[in-house]
Amino acid sequence: MKMPLNWFQLLGTLLLIGCSDVQAAATVGRACNVTATMPGICRTSSECEPVIDGYIRSGVLKLNDVPSCGLGAWGEIFCCPTQPCCGNGVSTSSSSTTRAPVATTVLTGGRVDVPTASSGTGDRPAVAACKKIREQRQQKSGNQLVIHIVGGYPVDPGVYPHMAAIGYSTFGDLVNFRCGGSLIASRFVLTAAHCVNTDANTPAFVRMGAVNIENPDHTYQDIDVRSVKIHPQYMGNKYNDIAVLELERDVVETDNVRPACLHTDPTDPPSSSKFFVAGWGELNVTTRERSKILLRAGLELVPLQQCNNSYAEQPASIRMLKAGVIDTLLCAIDQRLIADACRGDSGGPLIHELSVEDGMYTIMGVVSSGFGCATVTPGLYTRVSSYLDFIEGIVWPDNRV
């Protein structure tokens, strides 16, 4: 992810960007301290993970103990011990399917009030579904930790198994991936309405389980899109920018393909919480080059009033945000103005990371829009908790999970 900080452009959608090659070259190889008594050296995540893995497995270090040296051209640079510890291990999984992409008819769905699920727990469907997802994962994993470097770039396989790349058919047999999404049930993907609201934006299929989007390994799954449900109050502006894709069949759940929980709490998490945006969007707003590898970037939430003030300073944004930044939206930013989402990341998730050790997180927002990439103006995200009735009415229409 890279972009010089003085390249500001007005973009309708968002991308993951990082610091320049000069910054990366200056950081990698620098001496650092992992702990007060453990010397280290700054390395890329791919170089650091084999070294640090043994320390984590042996209990000498925890994931949160690994300091960051900053962001490099292709992701975060970590302070790694100078010597391996106690061995390492890598877990992998495999599953494969093939596809035959075809365009489908775009449908619109209404808002449905679904207060609770008939699961015997009294929980609403989204909450009951999340409990089920976590129970199944716990039974399958046997409570084993998911070992990966905190904030690692690019994202390792299985770290975000809900990530979906939305494929669009173009002239001939060409396929274009220009939006992302999140698998929220075995047959449903959450995305942004502006990704699927025109004939030109009719999605053909979704690609699941792929880190390298153009050259995936044999674990990926391509599944055709059956129908598209756009929020009935979406009018082409920045409000109600949310949609649900129904797939032709259920995904085959593996370590690399699995639904994610929805964030159901209408209030914002504590300021100390960790948030990430992930996608395959543009790396550079000048060349429009897009990442072939799934990337993620750490962000911070911005209070709505502060976000409103930022957008009020941009005259071009008033036309699209006539009511201002309202509470159905979220704002997030990298305070260093290094990383962000950008064009090609639309529809992807804003992830609230609950527990690094066991990979627990919720989908808190959907990438919607922004004024530039990695600028002083925060990015806009559709707040998922504001649209639970709409989502549940499509994904769990009979209140059953």
Catalytic residues, by residue number, are: 194, 241, 346
Edge-to-edge, what's the strand order for the sheet holding 68-72? 31-35, 38-44, 75-81, 68-72
Cα separation of 342 and 265, whole Å?
A: 26
Cα separation of 398 and 135, whole Å?
A: 22
Cis omega (within 30 of 0) on the bond before 232? no
Report angle CA 64, 65, 67 to the nearest 5 degrees: 100
